[in-house]
Amino acid sequence: MAGAAKSGHQLQLLDFWVSPFGQRCRIALDEKGLPYEYLEQDLANKSELLLRSNPVHKKIPVLLHAGRPVCESLIILHYLDEAFPSSAPLLPAGDAYARAQARFWADYVDKKVYECGTRLWKLKGEPQAQAVAEMLDILRTLDGALGDGREFFGGAAFGLADVALAPFTSWFHAYERFGGFSVEEECPRLAAWAKRCAQRPSVAKNVTPPEKVYDFICGLKKRFGIE
């Protein structure tokens, strides 16, 4: 729910339209019903506000809460849960083990998916084949983590791990095309989970359509001079 936030929550999000990391934050804000001001950033020409708000990494997303910056998407998700405790929680209250498992999987997504995916579309020959093999391993691991009969990673409730991975479901299509595999065939549970996520208004609204992600990557490849 975007809109100028002059009073009340005073939340702003410095972001880039196609960023899956930024989309995690948008999904979380919508799930929690928190109004915020979306501020699209030009990453080729970074604004004073971005550089001032994230001097260490100079990256999006950055959440500004009454002007104070919070950086790193998973840290932003934790912050939203803790600063707005009456809103829909991303982590189950009072269950330390469930919280640890959610954090483990969110961390796994962070460490593995984007980096491997980048190698998959950027590289060729043997290094690309290796990236494809690794991506299949990652997706099968996530498929296994879902197991049978679980709606979301934490069970019945859409939570931290789901929010961490949901934006990447749009990137699956690109990975499939560049990698020559089918997520539906290799990881049916993950594919079913992705469909369930896509039905949530917060996800449907904030995640870039797969074809647009594919076009974006093709644009990057042209720019980097990769066939």
Partner 1 sequence: MASPPPPVKLLGTFASLPVHRAEAALRIKGVPYELILEDLKNKSELLLTHNPVHKKVPVLLHGDRAVCESLVILEYIDEAFDGPPLLPADPYDRATARFWAHFIDTKCSRPIWLSVWAEGDRQREALREVKQNLALLEAQLEGKRFFGGDSIGYLDLAACGLAHWIGVIAESGGVSLDTLMSDAEFPNLRRWAAEYVSDEAVRLCLPDRDRLLAYHMANVDKNKERAKSM
Binding site for partner 1 (CB under 8 A): 56, 65, 68, 70-72, 75-76, 78-79, 82-83, 96-97, 99-100, 103-104, 107-108, 141
Burial class (CB in 10 A: 0-12, 13-18, 19+), 88: middle
Contact (CB, 8 A) for 120 and 175: yes
Q: Minimal distance in Å, beta carbon 63 to partner 1?
A: 9
67, amino acid identity: G
Nearer to partner 1, 153 or 178 (CB): 153
Q: Minimal distance in Å, beta carbon 90 to partner 1?
A: 13
- Give Cβ neighbours of residue 142 (< 8 Å, ≥ 6 apart): 105, 108, 109, 165, 187, 190
Q: Minimal distance in Å, beta carbon 210 to partner 1?
A: 27
Nearer to partner 1, 4 or 96 (CB): 96
Q: Minimal distance in Å, beta carbon 144 to partner 1?
A: 9
Nearer to partner 1, 70 or 146 (CB): 70
Nearer to partner 1, 100 or 198 (CB): 100
What DSSP character marks residue 124?
A: -
Burial 98-118 (b: 16+ CB within 10 A, else e): bbebbbebbebbbebbbebbe
